Structure 1
Amino acid sequence: MTRRTVRKTQRGNMAIEFSIVFPLFFVVFYAIVTYSIIFVAQQSLTLAAEEGARAALRFQANAQTVDDALARRATAACETAKNLTNWLASAAQCSAAPAPCTYDASLRCIQVTLNYGYAQRPLVPTLPLFGLALPGSLIARAMVQLDPDNVL
C-alpha cells in the first residue's frame, strides 16, 4: 500500500477518536471548575463567619440589659458577615445568637452561622447526574466568647 492509500483509509479516525475522548476531557474540566468554585465559596463563608464573630466582640452602645447587648452584638455580627458574602448575591442566610459556651456554662458566647443553599442557587450550572455529587448547602460556623465583665 502506498502512503496515499493509507491516508485515505485513515481519514475519519481522528474525528471518531476526538468524539470519544472530548466528553471525558470536558467532564474532568467541568469537575475541576465546579469543585474549585465550591471550595472558594466555602472558604469565603468561613471567613465571613469568623469576621462576624469578631464583630460581635465590639462594644455596642445604648444597650440597657445584657440580653439587649447580646442581641445588638448578634445583629452586628450578621451585618458584618453579610457584607463579606455579598458576592454570593445575598443568598447566604445568616443567624447569630447567644449560645452557651460548651467548656464553661457561666460564660457568654455568640455563634454565627452562615448557610448558602447551593442546590437552589448553584454558582456553576449543573450537568445531569452531577447534582448527585454536589453539596446541598454550604455551612460555616464560628463562635466567640464574650468577656462577661464587658458585655454591657
Structure 2
Amino acid sequence: MPIPASPQRGAAALEFALTLPLLLILIYGLAAYSMLFVLQQQLTLAAAEGGRAAMRFASSTTARDSAITAAIRQGVSGWPTARQNLVNVQIRPAGGACPANLTCLAIVVTYPYAAQPILPSMFGLPYPTTLSSQAAVQLDQLVLN
C-alpha cells in the first residue's frame, strides 16, 4: 500500500525560494556599502596627507599647492587610473576662526561616485552621487630677520 503524500512536502524548497532573494540583497548591500566606506576612508586619509604636505611649504604657495596635490594623488594611487583622474582637489582659505598671524587652509577632496561606481546599483540601493572629504590645516608664518 503506498504512503499518502504529506501536506508539508516541498515546504522547505518554497521557504528557500522566498528567502534567497532577501539573502542575496543583504549580501550585495553589505559588499557594496563596505566598499563605499573603504573608498570614503581612502579619501579622508588622502586629504589628511595633503594637510601634512601643506605644513612643509608654509611660505611658497605654488610649491605648497603642488605638494598637496601630489600627496593626495599618492593617497589614491592604489585606485584604477580612471578613478584617479576623477579625483578633484580644491585648496582654499579655511573659514572660521583663524588667528590673524596664521594661514588656515581647507583641503577638499571630492570623487564623483555616480560617474565611476565600484559596484553597479542593483536592487534599488541608494548610492551617493559624490564622496568628499576635507582636511583643515593651520600654517605658521615664518618671520625671518
Q: TM-score, normalised by structure 1?
A: 0.79
| 1:70 maps to amino acid | T
Give the match's secondary structure for 1:103: coil
* Residues 1:110 and 2:105 are matched in the alignment: yes
Structure 2 unmatched ranges of 5 or more: none
CA contact (8 A) 1:101 1:145 kept: no
Structure 1 unmatched ranges of 5 or more: 61-65
**Percent identical:** 30
Q: Which residue of 1 aligns with 2:42?
A: 44
When the two chains are superposed, the root-mean-square deviation of aligned CA atoms in Å is 2.6
Which of 112, 137, 140 is matched with 1:147 structurally? 140
Cα distance, 1:41 vs. partner? 0.9
Cα distance, 1:100 vs. partner? 4.6
Cα distance, 1:76 vs. partner? 0.7
Cα distance, 1:144 vs. partner? 0.7
* Residues 1:34 and 2:29 are matched in the alignment: no
Give the match's secondary structure for 1:102: coil
Cα deviation 1:9-53 (Å, max 9, x = unaligned): 71x333322221100011111111111111111111101100111
CA contact (8 A) 1:78 1:112 kept: no
CA contact (8 A) 1:94 1:112 kept: yes
Say if 1:9 and 1:149 are closer, same or farther in 2 by CA, change over 3 A: closer
- Distance in 1 (CA, whole Å) between partners of 2:127 and 2:68 is 29
Q: TM-score, normalised by structure 2?
A: 0.82
More helix by share: 1
- Distance in 2 (CA, whole Å) between partners of 1:78 and 1:114 is 10
Q: Which residue of 2 aligns with 1:122?
A: 117
| 2:114 maps to amino acid | A
- Distance in 2 (CA, whole Å) between partners of 1:125 and 1:140 is 22
Name the count of aligned residue pairs: 139
Cα distance, 1:137 vs. partner? 0.9
- Distance in 1 (CA, whole Å) between partners of 2:74 and 2:36 is 19
- Pairwise mapping of residues 57-96 of structure 1 onto structure 2 (< 5 A)? 57-59=55-57, 69-89=60-80, 90=84, 91-96=86-91
